[in-house]
Amino acid sequence: MKKIINTPNGPAAIGPYSQAVEANGTLYISGQLPINPLIGKIEATEITSQTEQVFANINAILTEAGYTFTDVVKSTVFLSDIADFAGMNEVYKKYYLTECPARSAFAVKALPLGALVEIETIAAK
């Protein structure tokens, strides 16, 4: 059974996709950009602040679906510049202290809305 997850505490989708989909005890969160859901725009201009906003958005979706960061099993991090890896990682490690999820991180040519970072997340119970 598939369940669509949406929360007003996370940014609205900027295309034809859901914030997240839950199926068979697994939550698939779409890539989250550093959009402030209160204003619908990216406010932060540097990597650590953008990454903090991304994690706030992920947390809102996890919470709406009844999951926590301890349920996360896989993250995929997209960076507009691989030079931002260390800054992103400084924030990332605040959310995963032990039993960290599997992760991929790589640079892409560009991200929507000029974002520096986007993170997609999979959680399971």
Q: What is the CATH number of the domain that holds 44?
A: 3.30.1330.40
Residue whose entry in the numeric block shows the structure tokens 């691989």: 82
pLDDT recorded at residue 67: 98
Note down the domain range covering 84: 2-124
- Tokens (6 digits) for 109: 């040519």
- Backbone φ/ψ region at 25: left (φ over 0), alpha (ψ -120 to 50), beta: left
pLDDT, residue 1, reads 86
Q: What is the dihedral of CA 25, 29, 30, 31, to 10 degrees?
A: -140
Q: And the tokens for 83? A: 């030079």
| pLDDT for res 119 | 98
Residue entry with tokens 């560009």: 110
What does each of the 125 residues of the chain score in pLDDT, given as a tens digit? 899 999 999 999 889 999 999 999 999 999 999 999 999 999 999 999 999 999 999 999 999 999 999 999 999 999 999 999 999 999 999 999 989 999 999 999 999 999 999 999 999 99
Q: Which pLDDT value is given to residue 123?
A: 98
Q: What is the DSSP string of 31-85?
A: EEP-EETTTTEE---SHHHHHHHHHHHHHHHHHHHT--GGGEEEEEEEES-GGGH
* pLDDT for 43: 97
Provide the domain count of the chain: 1
Tell me what pLDDT residue 75 has.
98
